[in-house]
Homo-oligomer: A and B are copies of this chain.
């Protein structure tokens, strides 16, 4: 059945996306120095992200898919999203917040498509797992949205005071 085939394909894509998310978030957290609230929220989301990848593996196993080689996937999304890291820029904290917000919405849309596909395929358990993950992604996106003006103002404040607020 076509819906089932695409559902499996998109679950694999989502797993690769979460592996990439963990990598991106870890690099951001390691570099953050002057923004402890953001670092704490990112660290919390790294834990969520690891758990999301595990839940997706369980979904794939439930669909009869072998997940032993799943660590090799995600290369395509890696190439896409790696470019959203802005380690070299003098305003990396602001650019990374913008990139994270965009990436969270990439994830949000991916789970919305997955939920629709799981419903079409009659896989209610998988739809429910994806709804739970979606709620976590939306909470993270909301946090970034609410904190982006504050972070931007703090960054400009550091700069005006002659201090580096780049990260």
Contact = CB atoms under 8 A, between A and B. Distances in A.
A149 interface: yes
Contacts of A80: 83-84
Given A117-B152, A152-B117, A159-B2, A145 B112 contact: yes
How many copies of the chain does the oligomer comprise? 2
18 contacts: A2-B159, A3-B156, A6-B156, A79-B83, A80-B84, A97-B113, A101-B106, A102-B102, A102-B103, A102-B106, A109-B144, A109-B148, A112-B148, A112-B152, A113-B149, A113-B152, A116-B152, A120-B153
Secondary structure class of chain A's binding surface, majority of residues = helix
A140 interface: no
